[in-house]
Structure 1
Amino acid sequence: MKKIFISLAVIIACLAAGSCGNKKNPMEENLTTVLIETSKGNIKVALYDETPLHRNNFIKLCSNGTYDGVLFHRVIGDFMIQTGDPDSKNAKPHELLGGEDPDCPTIPAEFRFPQYFHKRGALAAARQADSVNAKKESSGTQWYIVTGKKYKPEQLREYEINMDLDKKMKLIEKGKKERMKEIFQLRKEGKKEEVQNIYEQIEDNAQMEVAKHPFIRFPQNIIDTYVNVGGCPFLDSQYTVFGEVLEGMDVVDAIQYVKTDPAKRPLEDIKIIKVTVNKPSNK
């Protein structure tokens, strides 16, 4: 009887303190969360305050029913699951999806690296390619959840080097275009040495710029995350991360490995049934 009395006392004390195993994730208390009910199960995400343009747009689309009934139209194992195409609601089997809603303008990029990055479970905005989207603006409706894979530290370092090289080459091409008329005139006059000097100046300037402002450097905490948890480091500073999964990564994993057609659309439709926005309890 004594043991039972003590147990009841503990339970009452816990309930009074509000901490009997039902303590909320701190993110739920301080950030807007969204419950995404899918045909595979539920996923709960938190939206970052540091990316207000994306947060507010996502809340608006969730609240007005834009995402109710859309499909996960692009799914790649060990990479990500993507959704948000309004036209997917009534899509026929094998219909190519991924278009944009003309009534939803693009969103300016809100890169917050290294605070937020493409770790496993990151919520991020899709976008069009750099060739038609130099400012890396996000899609007005489409988003994805990162699954990714684990990386070795040397792979991350190799990526840093490759991206620096890519940045240097782009700077060199930009420098050549800016001095194209001057180079053309010198070539016309047969001044090969002066042309070569200009090329060397352009390359030296590009090298100094990259040394001063490298494309990306992974802090140790991010390296540890990509090594031990996984993600997609090659998307950092390229696509806007505006939230993360709090619950339901098992559902995300179930979606990422389904069978797909050549366009990576699941052969069996996976649908978002309903989304519910929940305001932070502390605000």
Structure 2
Amino acid sequence: MKKKFIVYSVYLAISCVIFISCEDKKKTTETVVETKIEKKVEVEDEDEDEDETKVEKDKKTDYPKITNENVVEFLTEYGKINPETKVLITSRFGDIVIELYKDTPLHRANFIYLVKQKYFDETFFHRVVPNFIIQGGNSDLVSTPRKRAALGNKYLLPAEIIPGRIHQYGTVSGAKEYRENPDHRTAPYEFFIFHGPRSSTSHLNGKYTIFGNVIQGMDVVEKISNVKADDGDWPLENIYISAKVIE
């Protein structure tokens, strides 16, 4: 029998939304974001399953949810039939074109997959640090964890750290879900663009997979990095993004 619950004005802690955080020297703890719900919400037991079904149906896919058990096999096969390497990220500040590296095949395939599944649409550049990084792929919208649940919210990408490849102006890397991560596995849904001096990369190099670089739009990256943000580096005004494969 379906159970129904009525929830009145509450603060819903979406802990899964912002545990993913690229390390920088200013931060020593994870950041948790709370979403304030001001209206009465009616939730049913089957809502989540219905939302996931709708997402998958709308995107016209028959793909399984990605897990740690099938991630390598799935992305290896997906990458073979989806060889694209260029993605356009659009924001109100302008466009950013990213070229993905072929020698990080799992990260490339994962990024292309998420773009084609429209995951990044209506997410934000949710963390901005001047002279360091801008980080995208998250939001405080309910739609983001629902998308993750539909695509697979319990997998990490094996590290693909290339010896000698270092973070430099314009590199694109995968964020990590937690600091106690000796295998340096990547959280699949967030990425960051480095735009600082090389002297700021000693704690990044060899610990985060660099899987692409910006080939157009670093002026846009700089604009975004300098917007006003709160103490957690979250912009005071949301910076929505969308993404599409261009080549």
The question of a shared fold, defined as TM-score above 0.5 by the shorter chain, is answered with yes
1:117, distance to aligned residue in structure 2 (A): 1.8
The aligned counterpart of 1:61 is: 114
1:258 maps to 2:227: yes
| Contact 2:89–2:96 (8 Å) recurs in 1 | yes
1:275 maps to 2:236: no
1:246 maps to 2:195: no
1:90, distance to aligned residue in structure 2 (A): 5.2
Q: Distance in 1 between matches of 2:108 and 2:100?
A: 6
Mapping for residues 107-186 of structure 1, pairs under 5 Å: 107-114=157-164, 116-131=165-180, 133-149=181-197, 151=199
2:245 alignment partner AA: V
Q: Distance in 1 between matches of 2:115 and 2:141?
A: 15
| Contact 1:108–1:136 (8 Å) recurs in 2 | yes
1:275, distance to aligned residue in structure 2 (A): 1.1
Identity level (%): 35
| Contact 2:133–2:225 (8 Å) recurs in 1 | yes
| Contact 1:128–1:136 (8 Å) recurs in 2 | no
1:268 alignment partner AA: E
TM-score by structure 1 length?
A: 0.53
- Shift of the 63–47 alpha-carbon distance from structure 1 to 2, 3 Å rule, reads same
Q: Distance in 1 between matches of 2:221 and 2:128?
A: 10
Mapping for residues 4-43 of structure 1, pairs under 5 Å: 32-43=85-96
* 2:140 aligned residue (88, 91, 101): 88
| Contact 1:71–1:271 (8 Å) recurs in 2 | yes
| Contact 1:127–1:239 (8 Å) recurs in 2 | yes
Normalized per residue, the structure richer in strand is 2
| Contact 1:31–1:49 (8 Å) recurs in 2 | no
User: Which consecutive residues of structure 2, in runs of 5 or more, have no partner in the other structure?
Assistant: 1-82
User: Which consecutive residues of structure 1, in runs of 5 or more, have no partner in the other structure?
Assistant: 1-29, 92-96, 152-230
When the two chains are superposed, the root-mean-square deviation of aligned CA atoms in Å is 2.5
Q: Distance in 1 between matches of 2:228 and 2:90?
A: 21
2:177 alignment partner AA: Q
Normalized per residue, the structure richer in helix is 1
1:33, distance to aligned residue in structure 2 (A): 0.5
Q: Equivalent residue of 2:203, what SS?
A: helix
The aligned counterpart of 2:127 is: 74
Q: Distance in 2 between matches of 1:60 and 1:137?
A: 18
4+ residue stretches of structure 1 with deviation over 6 A? none
1:257, distance to aligned residue in structure 2 (A): 1.0
| Contact 2:84–2:245 (8 Å) recurs in 1 | no
Q: Distance in 1 between matches of 2:140 and 2:234?
A: 11
Which structure has the greater CA radius of gyration? 1
Q: Equivalent residue of 1:60, what SS?
A: helix
Q: Equivalent residue of 1:145, what SS?
A: strand
The aligned counterpart of 1:181 is: none
Q: Distance in 1 between matches of 2:219 and 2:141?
A: 24
| Contact 1:71–1:89 (8 Å) recurs in 2 | no
Larger RCO: 1 or 2 (CA < 8 Å, sep 6+): 1
